[in-house]
Structure 1
Amino acid sequence: MKNTLISKDWNKAKEYLKNNKIIIAPTDTLYGILGNALNKTVVEYIYQIKKRKPEKPYIILIPDTEFLSIFGISPSKEEKKVLEKTGITVVIDLPSKYKEKFHYLHRGQKSLAFRIPAKRKLLNLLKDLKKPLVAPSANPEGEPPAKNIQEAINYFGNKVDLYIDEGEIKNKNPSTIIKFVEGKPIVLRKGNISISHINHILQIK
């Protein structure tokens, strides 16, 4: 049986993630299940414990747009600007030669969704780790997201190695997801940031 730890220490989160452990911690919008996106075994384990449909990819958290090069992606100036300034999730197509390597992440969609988190502790964690993280919400498929650590523990128990407790997260919308088509942002999922704010950032009238 796993020894699961509850902590408020983000340094402990870094230690666990460096060792390819699975943690639950606050993200910008909800409690999320965090794991090393470059480790296929970790990613598949998160699919297993979430009981997530295998064709549905996860959002990937990165510390800055330089990390897109890991996936062979050179972002457009619009994609770069939105990622760096808004905490929004941007879907970007993978180059052909990277599609097979990262099939376990894109799940046949041939694109990946990226976000640079606005939450300072999470962003600092990513910078220290120097690894991208998958970060789905902390709930099994079809169940409401955990609003606090006790709800997360009720869902996952000792299937997760570490829980970072920052109290209740109340009624936050999930992140907005967009994709750029011919330089224009198209909303794929409405969320915490409006299209008008995105257009303002891009200075589109």
Structure 2
Amino acid sequence: MEIVNNLAACLLLVSIFGCVSCDFERRMRHHHPNHHSVQDVASVRMTSPTKTNSVSGFLALSQTQYGVKLVGYIIGLTPGKHGMHVHTFGDVTTDGCTSTGSHYNPHNATHGGPPNGIDKRHVGDLGNVVADENGVALVRIFDRVISLSGPQSIANRAIVVHANEDDLTPNANPGPRLACGTILKTKKVTRYH
């Protein structure tokens, strides 16, 4: 019986790696410059501006053909929803993250949030992140309004997470700024399709 199980495991591994190998070979035969693109990427190391809380986190951003993907985590939050926004300035040196200015809003739109378009929200309105019972928010956002280059670029600005939920209305009050970090563009990445 052990021989049969070992044989089955070997066949499974051969079929998995064989398929991977075939796919890799197929891609290599069909490789030419039109099948890859250079992609802007950025990162944000979020820290608390005060000694009264221990909120921190890390976000990775990548520009796609259709928008920007943000993934990462924020820890030290109270359980529940917390507003998250791109603020105008990347200066995160002051107490309370006040040097980041207001929400990034180059089109003077009213406050809103995803999935609203550019005419019904600030460019920097990213909605809410949700912290679990341990105070950890796993961030997975895809946004079609922000960009890492061009006229709506958020590069060198700041991302701020707030104490309260953003209700995404024009009169929203997400509360004090708990943590912030500068959006730093890194080396461009080549993606193969």
TM-score band (shorter)? under 0.3
Looking at CA atoms only, which structure, 1 or 2, has the larger radius of gyration? 2
**Which of structures 1 and 2 has the larger relative contact order (alpha carbons within 8 angstroms, sep 6+)?**
1
Structure number with higher strand proportion: 2
TM-score (norm 2): 0.26
